[in-house]
Amino acid sequence: MALPRVLKNFNVFYEGYNFLGICESVELPKLTRKMEEYRGGGMNGPVSVDLGIEKLEMTHNYGGFTREVFESFGAVKVGSVLLRFSGACQREDTEEVDRVEIVCRGRHSEIDAGTAKAGEKNEFKVVSQLSYYRLSINQDTLVEIDLENFVEKVGGSDRLAKQRDALGI
């Protein structure tokens, strides 16, 4: 019987700063395809047409005010802020540990400093809109999405290479 890999711990690196002990939680980016129903003449039913990727977003929460986040608020370039999530996932049956890494680039659409209350910690929530996403397990890249450069690689296959070629880019 095989048991799942369980996230035992994680860390976040923000623009190269080590946020060990500062980042409390991360809502990792959801990978979603934009699908539209299509039914043409001679078809007995509809199919879903793939129209690309929905927006990529990441939410990260910190234990209090984080200066570096404020300093990058309002960044002009879509890939201004570099975020790296590094997780240790361990199997309960073999003790094997996998390194899960998600590297993102984007900029913040929301900084919520929460409610300030004396004698209590305040949660500091950040929502980032992403232009770049890469998921690796044990340094093997499984998914790489670069929206600015029209790149989408999944399992080693560049899914947009033929379209880039057709467009001359």
Exposed/middle/buried for residue 153 (C-beta within 10 Å: 0-12, 13-18, 19+):
middle
Determine, yes or no, domain membership for 42.
no
58: tokens are 């990441």
Total number of domains constituting the chain: 1
CA distance 7 to 87: 7
In the prediction, which pLDDT does 136 show? 98
Q: Is residue 44 part of a domain?
A: no
The CATH number for 79's domain is 2.30.110
pLDDT class of 120 with cuts at 50, 70, 90? confident
Sign of CA dihedral 159, 109, 10, 12: positive
Range of the domain at 17: 5-29+53-167
In Å, the largest CA–CA distance within the chain is 68
pLDDT number for residue 66: 86
Q: Is 58 exposed, middle or buried (0-12, 13-18, 19+ CB in 10 A)?
A: buried
Residue 41 lies in a domain: no
Query: pTM for the complete prediction?
Result: 0.92
Contact between 149 and 142 (Cβ < 8 Å)? no
Where does the pLDDT of residue 115 fall: very low under 50, low under 70, confident under 90, or very high at 90 and above?
confident
35 within domain boundaries:
no
Does residue 37 lie within any of the structural domains? no
| DSSP 3-state of 15 | coil
38 located within any domain: no
Q: What is the pLDDT of residue 85?
A: 97
The pLDDT tens digits for 21-67 are 999 999 999 999 999 999 999 999 999 999 999 999 999 999 888 88
The average confidence (pLDDT) of the chain is: 94
Summarised one tens digit per residue, pLDDT across range 136-164 is 999 999 999 999 999 999 999 999 999 99
Using CB atoms within 10 Å of the CB of residue 167, give its burial: 0 to 12 exposed, 13 to 18 middle, 19+ buried: exposed
